[in-house]
Copies of this chain bind each other. A is one copy, B any other.
Amino acid sequence: MSSITYFAEIITIGNEILSGRTVNTNASHIARRLVSLGFSVRRITTVMDELDEISSAFREAISRKPKLIISTGGLGPTYDDKTAEGLSIALNRRFVENEKALEMIVEKYKKINVELTPERRKMAMMPEGAIPVENNEGIAPGIYIVYEGIEILATPGVPREMENVLENFINKYLKTRPPVKYVERNLTVVGVMESAIAPYISNLVKKYDLYIKSHPKGYELTSPMLEIQIAGSSANPKELEERINNCKEELKEIVHKLNGRITNEI
């Protein structure tokens, strides 16, 4: 390992993973995304929905001094959602109602005219000093906190919520950036169903060794719209730019072949 390696760790929380009922695709997603930013993921730990287990997992990860810890699962309104409290215990911080998080939650329930029960209010409880991270796909905000120089983010376990909170975190909060060149391109595609382009994207991921993710924005069956994100990092900026451009051009050809249009390119 070179001295410039920026290590990250992933913690997944959930009995359904430990019983084998659910395959841990969340960890794979987070890993790929962190690798695309230039991090090296050193460990993935899966623990039960229990306070002791959760706080131990965070404490042990912190003791190994990575730059970044991302958790997924255990944020939510039910009694077995214990990540926020487990994290508080690990950090030895008070477990308190976060005002900004409460605002986010209240606003969401107001919009759909649903009552704020104690269970729903519970999703605003966080370690003291935490920053709630926007969750545009669900209710429970992510939890961002910096502890002894380590950035820690807790995301929900529902895949699309986890992905959304993770992207919001990377765009708005993540301070630690590995000392490599990072390039990201985004294409907006209309007229192609996500399910139609999925196998092509899998091939491109393998061929170019990049993070490629389609984010559906329209309606899959009637008027599909996708934002496709291509990202990667490398110590060699020129090689990376070339690889990402080749990948983007190939993707554009695929879109045309599938009778779609590119309406935006960033």
Q: Which residue of B lies closest to A205 (CB)?
A: B21
Most chain B beta-carbon neighbours within 10 Å: one of A22, A35, A45, A53: A45
Knowing A23-B23, A28-B23, the reply to whether A45 touches B48 (Cβ < 8 A) is no
User: Does A25 sit at the interface, judged by CB under 8 A?
Assistant: yes
In the complex, which of the residues B19, B30, B43 contacts A32, with contact meaning CB atoms closer than 8 Å? B19
Q: Say yes or no: A47 contacts B41, CB within 8 Å.
A: no
Q: Say yes or no: A18 contacts B45, CB within 8 Å.
A: no
In the complex, which of the residues B29, B44, B48 contacts A46, with contact meaning CB atoms closer than 8 Å? B44
Q: Hey, which chain B residues are within 8 Å of A23, CB to CB?
A: 23-25, 28
Q: Hey, which chain B residues are within 8 Å of A28, CB to CB?
A: 17, 20, 22-24
Instruction: Give Cα A29 to B19, complex, Å.
Output: 9
Instruction: Give Cα A40 to B48, complex, Å.
Output: 10
Instruction: Give Cα A22 to B48, complex, Å.
Output: 23
Number of A residues near B (Cβ < 8 Å) is 29
Q: Say yes or no: A44 contacts B18, CB within 8 Å.
A: yes
Q: How far is the CB of A153 from chain B (nearest CB, A)?
A: 17
Q: Say yes or no: A18 contacts B42, CB within 8 Å.
A: yes
Instruction: Give Cα A252 to B58, complex, Å.
Output: 47
Most chain B beta-carbon neighbours within 10 Å: one of A18, A23, A32, A48: A18
User: Does A130 sit at the interface, judged by CB under 8 A?
Assistant: no
In the complex, which of the residues B19, B29, B42 contacts A20, with contact meaning CB atoms closer than 8 Å? B29
User: Does A31 sit at the interface, judged by CB under 8 A?
Assistant: yes
Q: Which of A33-61 contact B (CB under 8 A)?
A: 33-35, 40-48, 53, 60
Q: Say yes or no: B31 contacts A20, CB within 8 Å.
A: yes
Q: Say yes or no: A18 contacts B31, CB within 8 Å.
A: yes
User: Does A27 sit at the interface, judged by CB under 8 A?
Assistant: yes
Instruction: Give Cα A41 to B19, complex, Å.
Output: 6
Q: Say yes or no: B20 contacts A35, CB within 8 Å.
A: yes
Instruction: Give Cα A163 to B43, complex, Å.
Output: 24
Q: Which residue of B lies closest to A1 (CB)?
A: B50
14 pairs across A/B with beta carbons < 8 Å?
A18-B44, A19-B32, A19-B35, A20-B27, A20-B35, A20-B41, A24-B44, A42-B47, A42-B48, A42-B53, A43-B45, A43-B46, A43-B53, A44-B45
Q: A18-B31, A24-B44 are in contact. List 15 more A-B contacts (CB 8 A).
A: A17-B28, A18-B40, A18-B43, A18-B44, A20-B31, A20-B33, A20-B35, A23-B25, A24-B27, A27-B46, A42-B47, A42-B48, A43-B45, A43-B48, A60-B60
Q: A residues bordering B, Cβ < 8 Å?
A: 17-25, 27-35, 40-48, 53, 60
